[in-house]
Amino acid sequence: MGSTDADTEDSAATRLAHLERYYREHPVTGPTEGRSPTVKPAAPLNLDTIDHTHASVAEIADHTYRINPAAGPLPNSAAAVYDWAREHTAHADDTGRLQLAIIEYRQYLEHAVRAGDHTIVCRHRCPKCRTFGLMWQPQTQRAACTNRRCVTRDGTTTLHTLARLAHAHVVARETIRQARAT
């Protein structure tokens, strides 16, 4: 209905569906084979991905039931949980829907990073200095700002969690949307 933007094609749902598909097609190696130093050899990545999927769905479900205890059963497909959540929180207040949007966007980033698409963070401005130039840092699981003037008080690189990026992105998107609506 015109309220959607570019993330109709590239969304948390499509990213989660991709992870699930990849898991089924590559049950032994997983999506980041040989690429991510964060992969622990003792932990089979496919089990990690199943856990990740379950945890993601559970988080969305918890938030939805908190807003709307009568939301009913979850959809069969994990990737369908985002549409389900939006549908059942459509009449919630702005705060509840904004929180859901932030969680969904954070999960979108998490799914992408898990699939090895670390460049996803480069598409976002640094929430602190507002410039582009974020790089994913696997060892800290944070996005590092490469702007040399954007450092912490003790002179170290500014690092952002995916939650921080998601919050900044969704709040900015909502601000633009509200400005257009008035």
Least Å from the CB of residue 125 to Zn ion: 8
Per-residue buried b or exposed e for 112-135, using 16+ beta carbons within 10 Å of the residue's own CB: bbbbebbebbeebbbbbeeeeebe
Site string for Zn ion, 125-154 (x = CB under 5 A): -x-xx---------------x-x--x----
Least Å from the CB of residue 176 to Zn ion: 21
Question: What value, to the nearest 5°, has the Cα angle with vertex 55 and ends 92 and 17?
Answer: 85
- 19 or 121: CB nearest Zn ion: 121
Q: Which stretch binds Zn ion (CB under 5 A): 39-47, 52-60, 77-85, 119-127?
A: 119-127
- 49 or 158: CB nearest Zn ion: 158
Number of residues that bind Zn ion (CB under 5 A): 7
Q: Which stretch binds Zn ion (CB under 5 A): 25-33, 88-96, 109-117, 157-165?
A: 157-165
Least Å from the CB of residue 150 to Zn ion: 3
3-state secondary structure of 25: helix
- 81 or 168: CB nearest Zn ion: 168
H helix count then E strand count, the chain: 5, 3
Q: Is residue 165 part of the contact set for Zn ion (CB under 5 A)?
A: no
Using an 8 Å Cβ cutoff, are 134 and 143 in contact? yes
- Beta-carbon contacts of 174 under 8 Å, excluding residues fewer than 6 positions away, are 98, 101
Using an 8 Å Cβ cutoff, are 122 and 137 in contact? no
- Beta-carbon contacts of 156 under 8 Å, excluding residues fewer than 6 positions away, are none
Least Å from the CB of residue 160 to Zn ion: 8
Least Å from the CB of residue 144 to Zn ion: 9
Q: Which residues bind Zn ion (CB under 5 A)?
A: 126, 128-129, 145, 147, 150, 158
